[in-house]
Amino acid sequence: MESKKLISKEKFEQWIIDAPEEEYMNEGQLAFFKQRLIALHDTTREHIREAKEQMLSPPEITDLSDKATWEEQCGMLIRIVEREQRLLPKIKQALERIRIETYGYCLESGEPIGVRRLLARPTAEFSADVKAMMEKKEHMYQSS
């Protein structure tokens, strides 16, 4: 029987980082990011479920300061749920880009986003340079 050698997540990430430029977003890399996005989708949904469950089962509170603490915790949970719910469509869009083989390329410039950026933010749609320029423009318009 042939045994398969499993490599650690860190070693696989390093292998992806060290891959030659001409192998950018090859089949193995796309499969890796697809699995990473699916796992992110699942954990995000689980976080949402847990936060909602926590809010729906409040503890027995009689002290006013405990009640204030509970309300503050609920406010934080609501913000977590809102943030996580905004992430789900981004994950689905990234999975769609994998399907149509445009994942890993900037939506504006068409240039590679870069493996390191995708490892840090697998839903990234723009290269770091384009994103920085967009944020700079946004900041300029908000300051006006």
Domain extent listing, the chain: 23-143
Q: What is the pLDDT of residue 3?
A: 44
pLDDT tens for each residue of 11-67: 878 888 888 889 899 998 999 999 999 999 999 999 999 999 988 888 887 888 888
pLDDT tens for each residue of 74-84: 999 999 999 99
Alpha-carbon gap, residue 75 to 125, rounded angstroms:
30
Q: Which CATH architecture has domain 23-143?
A: Up-down Bundle (1.20)
Which parts of the chain fold into alpha helices (H)?
9-18, 27-56, 64-99, 115-120, 128-143
In single-letter form, the type of residue at position 113 comes to: I
Contact 127, 113 (CB under 8 A): yes
The DSSP symbol for 61 reads -
Handedness of CA 37, 38, 39, 40 (dihedral sign): positive
- Does residue 8 or residue 29 have the better pLDDT? 29
pLDDT tens for each residue of 95-144: 999 999 999 999 999 999 999 999 999 999 999 999 999 999 888 877 65
Alpha-carbon gap, residue 98 to 33, rounded angstroms:
8
